[in-house]
Amino acid sequence: MHRILTYNVHRCRGGDGRLSPARIAEVIASAKPDIVTLQEVDVGRRRSDHVDQANEIARELGMQMHFHPAFHVLEERYGDAILTAHPSRIVHAANLPGLQHYPGMEARGALWAAVEIDGRELQVVNAHIGLLAYERKLQVSALLGPDWTGNPACKDPTILIGDFNAVPRSRAYRRMAERFTDAQRAAGIPRPTFPARLPVIRIDHVFVSQSIKVLKTEVIRTPLARVASDHLPLVMDFTFAPGP
Protein backbone atom coordinates (compact mmCIF):
# COMPACT_ATOMS: atom_id res chain seq x y z
CA MET A 1 0.00 0.00 0.00
CA HIS A 2 1.12 3.55 -0.74
CA ARG A 3 -0.16 6.93 0.40
CA ILE A 4 -0.33 10.30 -1.35
CA LEU A 5 -1.37 13.56 0.29
CA THR A 6 -2.39 16.88 -1.24
CA TYR A 7 -2.41 20.10 0.77
CA ASN A 8 -2.98 23.76 -0.02
CA VAL A 9 -0.76 25.24 2.70
CA HIS A 10 -1.83 28.90 2.27
CA ARG A 11 1.83 30.02 2.36
CA CYS A 12 2.06 28.28 5.77
CA ARG A 13 -0.06 30.99 7.39
CA GLY A 14 -2.61 29.45 9.71
CA GLY A 15 -6.03 30.53 10.83
CA ASP A 16 -4.38 32.09 13.86
CA GLY A 17 -2.26 34.35 11.61
CA ARG A 18 0.99 32.56 12.49
CA LEU A 19 3.51 31.59 9.81
CA SER A 20 4.84 28.09 10.47
CA PRO A 21 6.23 25.66 7.87
CA ALA A 22 7.18 23.39 10.80
CA ARG A 23 3.51 23.15 11.80
CA ILE A 24 2.54 22.26 8.22
CA ALA A 25 5.26 19.58 8.21
CA GLU A 26 3.91 18.20 11.48
CA VAL A 27 0.41 17.87 10.02
CA ILE A 28 1.82 16.07 6.97
CA ALA A 29 4.12 13.81 9.00
CA SER A 30 1.17 12.60 11.09
CA ALA A 31 -0.27 10.97 7.93
CA LYS A 32 3.02 9.23 6.97
CA PRO A 33 2.59 9.78 3.20
CA ASP A 34 4.91 8.43 0.49
CA ILE A 35 4.22 11.39 -1.81
CA VAL A 36 3.17 14.93 -0.90
CA THR A 37 1.78 17.56 -3.26
CA LEU A 38 1.62 21.15 -2.04
CA GLN A 39 -0.01 24.29 -3.39
CA GLU A 40 0.48 27.97 -2.39
CA VAL A 41 4.08 27.58 -1.24
CA ASP A 42 6.22 30.71 -0.72
CA VAL A 43 9.96 30.68 -1.43
CA GLY A 44 12.03 33.72 -0.48
CA ARG A 45 9.03 36.04 -0.26
CA ARG A 46 9.10 39.12 1.91
CA ARG A 47 5.58 38.45 3.20
CA SER A 48 6.78 35.08 4.57
CA ASP A 49 10.04 36.31 6.12
CA HIS A 50 12.05 35.20 3.05
CA VAL A 51 11.81 31.55 4.15
CA ASP A 52 12.18 28.78 1.55
CA GLN A 53 9.04 26.98 2.68
CA ALA A 54 9.34 24.16 0.15
CA ASN A 55 12.83 23.20 1.30
CA GLU A 56 12.00 23.63 4.96
CA ILE A 57 8.99 21.31 4.78
CA ALA A 58 10.94 18.76 2.71
CA ARG A 59 13.79 18.81 5.22
CA GLU A 60 11.42 18.26 8.13
CA LEU A 61 9.91 15.26 6.31
CA GLY A 62 13.22 13.83 5.05
CA MET A 63 12.05 14.02 1.44
CA GLN A 64 13.35 15.18 -1.92
CA MET A 65 11.57 18.29 -3.21
CA HIS A 66 10.56 19.52 -6.66
CA PHE A 67 9.20 23.07 -6.89
CA HIS A 68 7.66 25.14 -9.68
CA PRO A 69 7.02 28.88 -9.23
CA ALA A 70 3.86 30.11 -10.89
CA PHE A 71 4.95 33.56 -9.68
CA HIS A 72 8.59 34.68 -9.89
CA VAL A 73 9.79 38.26 -9.39
CA LEU A 74 13.46 38.77 -8.51
CA GLU A 75 14.13 36.45 -5.54
CA GLU A 76 10.46 35.99 -4.63
CA ARG A 77 8.68 32.84 -5.78
CA TYR A 78 5.29 31.25 -5.16
CA GLY A 79 3.92 28.01 -6.49
CA ASP A 80 3.55 24.27 -6.14
CA ALA A 81 5.73 21.39 -4.96
CA ILE A 82 5.98 17.61 -5.04
CA LEU A 83 7.85 15.87 -2.21
CA THR A 84 8.82 12.20 -1.89
CA ALA A 85 11.53 9.93 -0.55
CA HIS A 86 11.14 7.64 -3.57
CA PRO A 87 13.31 8.10 -6.69
CA SER A 88 11.69 10.84 -8.74
CA ARG A 89 12.29 13.23 -11.61
CA ILE A 90 10.59 16.28 -13.04
CA VAL A 91 8.95 15.66 -16.41
CA HIS A 92 7.27 19.01 -16.98
CA ALA A 93 6.63 22.22 -15.03
CA ALA A 94 4.90 25.30 -16.41
CA ASN A 95 2.30 27.97 -15.84
CA LEU A 96 -1.23 27.26 -16.96
CA PRO A 97 -3.15 29.56 -19.32
CA GLY A 98 -5.35 32.05 -17.57
CA LEU A 99 -6.48 35.61 -17.14
CA GLN A 100 -3.28 37.10 -15.74
CA HIS A 101 -3.84 40.30 -17.74
CA TYR A 102 -6.86 40.99 -15.54
CA PRO A 103 -5.96 43.09 -12.48
CA GLY A 104 -5.48 41.03 -9.34
CA MET A 105 -5.58 37.62 -11.06
CA GLU A 106 -3.13 35.10 -9.64
CA ALA A 107 -0.81 33.12 -11.92
CA ARG A 108 -1.48 29.38 -11.84
CA GLY A 109 0.86 26.51 -12.52
CA ALA A 110 1.30 22.75 -12.56
CA LEU A 111 4.12 20.33 -11.86
CA TRP A 112 4.52 16.81 -13.28
CA ALA A 113 6.90 14.34 -11.68
CA ALA A 114 7.57 10.67 -12.39
CA VAL A 115 7.94 8.72 -9.14
CA GLU A 116 9.33 5.17 -9.04
CA ILE A 117 7.33 2.91 -6.71
CA ASP A 118 7.36 -0.91 -6.65
CA GLY A 119 9.34 -0.96 -9.87
CA ARG A 120 6.69 1.08 -11.68
CA GLU A 121 6.82 4.69 -12.76
CA LEU A 122 3.88 6.66 -11.39
CA GLN A 123 3.04 9.95 -13.11
CA VAL A 124 1.97 12.62 -10.60
CA VAL A 125 0.55 15.90 -11.92
CA ASN A 126 0.04 18.50 -9.19
CA ALA A 127 -2.03 21.55 -10.16
CA HIS A 128 -3.55 24.68 -8.65
CA ILE A 129 -6.19 26.20 -10.88
CA GLY A 130 -8.15 29.41 -10.84
CA LEU A 131 -11.23 30.84 -9.16
CA LEU A 132 -13.23 31.91 -12.23
CA ALA A 133 -15.19 29.43 -14.36
CA TYR A 134 -13.69 30.58 -17.68
CA GLU A 135 -10.18 30.51 -16.22
CA ARG A 136 -10.73 26.96 -14.95
CA LYS A 137 -12.03 25.93 -18.37
CA LEU A 138 -8.78 27.03 -20.01
CA GLN A 139 -6.63 25.41 -17.35
CA VAL A 140 -8.46 22.08 -17.27
CA SER A 141 -8.26 21.92 -21.08
CA ALA A 142 -4.50 22.42 -20.78
CA LEU A 143 -4.17 19.74 -18.06
CA LEU A 144 -6.06 17.23 -20.20
CA GLY A 145 -4.14 18.25 -23.32
CA PRO A 146 -0.88 17.18 -24.97
CA ASP A 147 1.47 19.02 -22.60
CA TRP A 148 0.15 17.25 -19.53
CA THR A 149 -2.06 14.19 -19.02
CA GLY A 150 -2.76 13.89 -22.75
CA ASN A 151 0.94 13.48 -23.43
CA PRO A 152 1.94 9.93 -24.48
CA ALA A 153 4.59 9.98 -21.74
CA CYS A 154 1.87 10.50 -19.11
CA LYS A 155 0.76 6.92 -19.28
CA ASP A 156 -1.10 4.82 -16.77
CA PRO A 157 -0.61 4.81 -13.77
CA THR A 158 -1.30 8.53 -13.41
CA ILE A 159 -2.55 10.71 -10.55
CA LEU A 160 -3.95 14.19 -11.27
CA ILE A 161 -4.11 15.96 -7.93
CA GLY A 162 -4.31 19.35 -6.25
CA ASP A 163 -6.50 22.33 -5.48
CA PHE A 164 -8.81 22.69 -8.45
CA ASN A 165 -11.19 25.28 -6.95
CA ALA A 166 -13.91 23.20 -8.58
CA VAL A 167 -16.87 21.68 -6.78
CA PRO A 168 -18.28 18.39 -8.14
CA ARG A 169 -21.17 20.10 -9.94
CA SER A 170 -18.79 22.38 -11.90
CA ARG A 171 -17.91 21.84 -15.53
CA ALA A 172 -14.19 21.77 -14.70
CA TYR A 173 -14.68 18.89 -12.26
CA ARG A 174 -16.94 16.98 -14.67
CA ARG A 175 -14.37 17.20 -17.46
CA MET A 176 -11.64 15.74 -15.26
CA ALA A 177 -14.00 13.06 -13.95
CA GLU A 178 -14.74 12.00 -17.53
CA ARG A 179 -11.06 11.15 -18.06
CA PHE A 180 -10.10 9.98 -14.56
CA THR A 181 -11.73 8.44 -11.50
CA ASP A 182 -12.42 10.66 -8.49
CA ALA A 183 -10.65 8.78 -5.69
CA GLN A 184 -13.00 10.03 -2.98
CA ARG A 185 -16.05 8.78 -4.85
CA ALA A 186 -14.33 5.45 -5.52
CA ALA A 187 -13.52 5.02 -1.83
CA GLY A 188 -16.94 5.83 -0.43
CA ILE A 189 -18.39 9.05 0.95
CA PRO A 190 -16.46 12.17 -0.19
CA ARG A 191 -15.50 14.68 2.50
CA PRO A 192 -15.01 18.47 2.14
CA THR A 193 -11.61 20.12 2.63
CA PHE A 194 -12.40 23.85 2.77
CA PRO A 195 -12.47 25.98 4.85
CA ALA A 196 -10.34 24.20 7.41
CA ARG A 197 -12.16 25.27 10.57
CA LEU A 198 -15.58 24.18 9.31
CA PRO A 199 -15.18 22.39 5.97
CA VAL A 200 -18.23 22.48 3.71
CA ILE A 201 -16.75 22.63 0.17
CA ARG A 202 -14.93 19.90 -1.76
CA ILE A 203 -12.42 21.64 -4.05
CA ASP A 204 -9.25 19.60 -3.41
CA HIS A 205 -9.29 16.40 -5.46
CA VAL A 206 -7.36 13.26 -6.34
CA PHE A 207 -8.11 11.79 -9.77
CA VAL A 208 -6.60 8.44 -10.75
CA SER A 209 -6.14 6.40 -13.91
CA GLN A 210 -7.35 2.86 -14.52
CA SER A 211 -4.53 0.80 -13.01
CA ILE A 212 -4.60 2.58 -9.63
CA LYS A 213 -6.73 0.78 -7.06
CA VAL A 214 -8.05 3.24 -4.46
CA LEU A 215 -8.08 1.63 -1.01
CA LYS A 216 -9.16 4.55 1.16
CA THR A 217 -9.37 8.34 1.23
CA GLU A 218 -9.30 10.56 4.28
CA VAL A 219 -9.46 14.25 5.10
CA ILE A 220 -7.17 15.05 8.04
CA ARG A 221 -9.33 16.95 10.54
CA THR A 222 -7.11 17.06 13.62
CA PRO A 223 -7.07 20.21 15.79
CA LEU A 224 -3.62 21.08 14.39
CA ALA A 225 -4.77 20.67 10.78
CA ARG A 226 -7.77 22.91 11.41
CA VAL A 227 -5.50 25.83 12.33
CA ALA A 228 -2.32 25.24 10.25
CA SER A 229 -3.81 26.34 6.88
CA ASP A 230 -7.14 27.39 5.39
CA HIS A 231 -7.48 23.98 3.67
CA LEU A 232 -7.41 20.49 5.17
CA PRO A 233 -5.09 17.84 3.70
CA LEU A 234 -6.63 15.09 1.57
CA VAL A 235 -5.01 11.63 1.70
CA MET A 236 -5.41 8.62 -0.58
CA ASP A 237 -4.20 5.08 0.08
CA PHE A 238 -3.68 3.10 -3.11
CA THR A 239 -2.03 0.15 -4.76
CA PHE A 240 -1.50 -0.85 -8.37
CA ALA A 241 -3.53 -3.33 -10.33
CA PRO A 242 -1.38 -6.22 -11.58
CA GLY A 243 0.72 -5.03 -14.50
CA PRO A 244 1.98 -6.87 -17.54
pLDDT at residue number 54? 95
- How far is residue 115's CA from residue 221's CA, in Å, rounded to a whole number? 27
Sign of CA dihedral 10, 15, 19, 25: negative
Q: Name every residue whose Cβ is closer than 8 Å to that of residue 86 and which is 6 or more positions away in sequence.
A: 34, 35, 115, 116, 117
Instruction: Give the alpha-carbon dihedral of 201, 206, 209, 213, to 10 degrees.
Output: -110
Which pLDDT does position 243 carry in this prediction? 59
The count of structural domains within the chain is: 1
H helices within 32-112, ranges in order?
A: 53-61
**What confidence score (pLDDT) does residue 101 get?**
67
Structural domain span for residue 10: 2-240
pLDDT at residue number 105: 75
State residue 49's pLDDT score.
85
Digitized pLDDT (tens) for each residue of the chain, 244 residues in all:
999 999 999 999 999 999 999 999 999 999 999 999 999 999 988 888 888 999 999 999 999 999 999 987 778 889 999 999 999 999 999 999 987 666 667 889 999 999 999 899 999 999 999 999 999 999 999 999 999 999 999 999 999 999 999 999 999 999 999 999 999 999 999 999 999 999 999 999 999 999 999 999 999 999 999 999 999 999 999 999 875 5
How many C-beta atoms surround the C-beta of residue 21 within 10 A?
24
Distance CA 228, CA 196 (A): 9
CATH at residue 215 = 3.60.10.10
Going by C-alpha positions, the residue among 237, 227, 177 that lies closest to residue 202 is 177
pTM for the model: 0.95
> Residue 192: its pLDDT value, please?
98
For the four alpha carbons of 195, 164, 89 and 107, in that order, the dihedral sign comes to: negative
Q: How many Cβ atoms from other residues are within 10 Å of residue 26's Cβ?
A: 17
Q: Pairing relation of β-strands 109-117 and 120-128? A: antiparallel
